[in-house]
Amino acid sequence: MVTGVFYELSGIIIVAVVVSGLMTLLRQPLIISYILTGIIVSPYVFGLITSSDSLAIFAHLGSALLLFMVGLNLNPKIVREVGKVSVITGMGQFLFTAVIGISASLILGFDLTTSLYIAVGLTFSSTIIIMKLLSDKGDIETVYGRISIGFLVVQDLIAVFILMILSSTSSGGNLAIMALETGLMGLGLLLSLLLVSVYVIPKIMQLVGRNQEYLLLFSIGWCLGLATLFDMLNFSIEIGALLAGVTLSMSPYHFEISSKMRILRDFFLIMFFIALGSELVVTHIHNYIIPILVFSAIILIGNPIIVMFLMGRLGYTKKNSFFAGLTVAQISEFSLILIALGIKVGHITNEVLSIMTMVGLITIFGCSYLILYANKVYLFLSPYLTIFERIGTKVDEHKHHKHEEYDIVVFGCNRIAYDLIESLKKLKKKFLIVDYNPDTITCIAKEGFACIYGDISDPETLKEIDLTKTKMIISTIHDLDTNLLLIDQVKRANENIIIITTSYNVEDSIKLYEEGANYVIIPHFLGGHKTATMVEDYGFDIEKFLKYKIEHLEYLKKRGKGYSKHFKDNLNHT
């Protein structure tokens, strides 16, 4: 039995390696390759999966670890900031999509019960898929990323509640009593976790943090323990894992925990997407082409419009509204579970599962590409999205600068930016810092630096800055497409400006030089060059190395004390 499961998992991983290799050559997102692997090894194609329970265990571990790591970045302060917009947007999108879904289903000729199931299935978005895509892009800490996480959690809570109602109905349970018990139990759990995170966790972490291996073991145990507890109490594993992460988010070790668990999360998450692909059922779809296309359009086009409208009314910029809207442009694994449960209790037929499976495939694939290439899509659609913005000051602009001329503009406040900021202060040049992390901007502003929240891939950000008299721009962001766009936009505003960008590989650096960069920072090469120079100058003279050691140690201590703790954390971990 054990050997059979081992062989099966080995075969699945080998197929995943081949498919992912092809996708990498074609420059396609790997999340697509994992789902395709699941379809290939499913019983409906090559039938490599026979131990579905074993694969499901890996899948649950992957989703739990992902949500746990998301929770590590959601401290209570962030929850307060995005709580209102997340609840309004999550509830609003659920209601609007449900109304549109049931109307479309009835028009297409489905009966009322089937239409209700389809409509509710269309309202759920996949938290796991979106968290994976946001994590890959590094956008979890952005304004739209935090809001998206918030309303996806709201959706998950609604989904869990609906599934519990259906289960209770099928077993003859009392709906009112079940709802009351669930509400009281959920409130009790949240209050208990709040007390534990405030009074117990800090003391435990002081002991656990002394041993890095035990820190990892404790984190995994805490994540899986709470996830299991919530599942046993008829909530979801994902919600339990997310809250486990939130309880550790205020710990000084949350960066170390996140770093250590990343590889573990990625492996099990691959299995989650493979399991998702293996469970997709596609039969007799030729009879339902029109409903599939209509429902897919509602998800890919209608859902983002609903979110953009709601966030626009709440005072957010069109870019954050657009990016958040894209995160609901697919259906969730909860949608397929809902339909399967409806079939089990005899409310709907198997054909509905085939329809929703195809809608899932189309929207998951479409949403993945939309999110990964969101910057380019936004540039094309930006002129037409102004109708979703409310006139006046936006709540997510975070401006901390005067409208004046700056000698230098620094894009991205990360580790490279630390020394740049120190040098610019000494040179007494007027400089502006642009960053997309609202926490970083707030901390920079407290230090007295001129700064603005914004994304350099957004033309609206560059319009906020007068580059006509700017002498130099420095981008510490290493994304090639972002830097190429920046070079193009800056050159249009000022041909004589000095452009310095950052890259982590030779090919991208050459491309940036060819497109107009005056200098490209390559951090690894700079470190190697510095070391080579020291070896040439010092030889085997240990006294010279010891002298430089003292100087470097003083520099590191100064760097550690140079800014407020929160600002320093942002510099060290962005």
Q: Is 183 inside any structural domain?
A: no
* Domain ranges, residue 369: 2-171+188-388
Query: What pLDDT does residue 574 have?
Result: 45
Residue 375's CB: how many other CB atoms inside 10 A?
Answer: 18
**What is the C-alpha separation between 233 and 196, in angstroms, rounded?**
19
Same domain, 247 and 353: yes
Q: Is 280 inside any structural domain?
A: yes
Tokens coding 127: 């938290």
Same domain, 369 and 439: no
**What is the C-alpha separation between 448 and 400, in angstroms, rounded?**
9
Same domain, 11 and 122: yes
294-303 exposure pattern, b = at least 16 Cβ within 10 A, e = fewer: bbbebbbebb
**What is the C-alpha separation between 366 and 360, in angstroms, rounded?**
10
Q: Is 178 inside any structural domain?
A: no
**What is the C-alpha separation between 48 and 51, in angstroms, rounded?**
9
**What is the C-alpha separation between 141 and 134, in angstroms, rounded?**
9
Q: Is 176 inside any structural domain?
A: no
**What is the C-alpha separation between 271 and 57, in angstroms, rounded?**
9
Q: What is the CATH number of the domain that holds 36?
A: 1.20.1530.20
**What is the C-alpha separation between 487 and 493, in angstroms, rounded?**
10
198-226 exposure pattern, b = at least 16 Cβ within 10 A, e = fewer: eeebeeebeebbeeeeebbebbbebbbeb
**What is the C-alpha separation between 295 and 358, in angstroms, rounded?**
10
Query: What pLDDT does residue 269 have?
Result: 77
User: What is the helix (H) or strand (E) element at residue 27, kind and residue range?
Assistant: none
Q: Which residue has the tokens 């070790």?
A: 253
Tokens coding 82: 């995005």
Query: What pLDDT does residue 299 have?
Result: 94
Question: What tens-digit pLDDT sequence spans the chain (574 residues)?
Answer: 567 778 888 888 898 899 888 888 877 777 788 888 888 888 777 777 776 677 778 888 887 887 788 778 666 666 666 677 888 888 899 999 999 999 999 999 999 999 999 999 999 888 878 888 887 777 777 788 888 888 887 887 787 777 766 665 555 556 566 667 666 777 788 788 888 888 888 888 888 877 878 888 899 999 999 989 888 887 778 778 888 888 888 777 777 787 778 778 778 878 877 877 777 666 667 778 999 999 999 999 999 999 999 998 888 888 889 999 999 998 887 787 788 778 877 888 878 888 888 898 889 889 988 988 888 888 888 888 888 887 766 665 555 556 667 888 888 876 677 677 777 777 777 888 888 777 777 777 777 788 887 777 666 677 777 788 888 988 988 888 888 888 888 888 888 899 999 888 888 889 999 999 999 988 877 878 778 888 888 888 888 888 888 888 887 776 655 444 444 454 444 4
Same domain, 167 and 305: yes
- Where are the extended beta strands (E) located within 111-201? none
6-31 exposure pattern, b = at least 16 Cβ within 10 A, e = fewer: eebbeebeebbeebbeebeeeebbbb
Same domain, 119 and 252: yes
Q: Is 332 inside any structural domain?
A: yes
Last residue of a domain, one of 388, 409, 432: 388
**What is the C-alpha separation between 124 and 512, in angstroms, rounded?**
41
Last residue of a domain, one of 343, 363, 388: 388
Nearest to 122 by CA among 107, 106, 100: 100
Same domain, 382 and 258: yes
Tokens coding 471: 């002498």
Query: What pLDDT does residue 561 have?
Result: 52
**What is the C-alpha separation between 487 and 516, in angstroms, rounded?**
7
Same domain, 355 and 408: no
Tokens coding 403: 């409208």
Q: Which residue has the tokens 């002991």?
A: 207
Q: Is 93 inside any structural domain?
A: yes
For the chain, the distance separating the N- and C-terminal CA atoms, rounded to the nearest angstrom, is 46
Residue 135 identity: S
What is 455-487 written as a DSSP string? -TT-HHHHHTS--SS--EEEE----HHHHHHHH
Tokens coding 393: 């000051």
Same domain, 349 and 403: no
What is 333-376 written as a DSSP string? HHHHHHHHHHHHTTSS-HHHHHHHHHHHHHHHHHHHHHHHTHHH
Q: How many domains does the chain have?
A: 2
> What angle (nearest 5°) sits at the alpha carbon of residue 275, between those of residues 354 and 89?
70
Same domain, 140 and 270: yes
Same domain, 26 and 62: yes
Q: Which residue has the tokens 């997407």?
A: 273
Q: Are strands 472-475 and 498-502 parallel, antiparallel or unpaired?
A: parallel
68 conformational bin, left if phi > 0, alpha if psi -120 to 50, beta if neither = alpha
**What is the C-alpha separation between 518 and 512, in angstroms, rounded?**
9
- What is the gyration radius of the CA atoms in the chain, in angstroms? 26
Q: Is 34 inside any structural domain?
A: yes
Same domain, 80 and 151: yes
**What is the C-alpha separation between 59 and 486, in angstroms, rounded?**
40
Tokens coding 41: 């090894």
Tokens coding 409: 């503009």
Q: Is 180 inside any structural domain?
A: no
Last residue of a domain, one of 388, 410, 435: 388
* Burial of residue 124, with CB atoms counted within 10 A of its CB: 0-12 exposed, 13-18 middle, 19 or more buried: buried
Same domain, 429 and 291: no
- The 3-state secondary structure of 285-306 reads HHHHHHHHHHHHHHHHHHHHHH
Tokens coding 514: 């060819």
Q: Which residue has the tokens 């690894």?
A: 524
Tokens coding 366: 């479409």
CA torsion sign for 187, 189, 193, 195 is positive
Q: What is the CATH number of the domain that holds 537?
A: 3.40.50.720
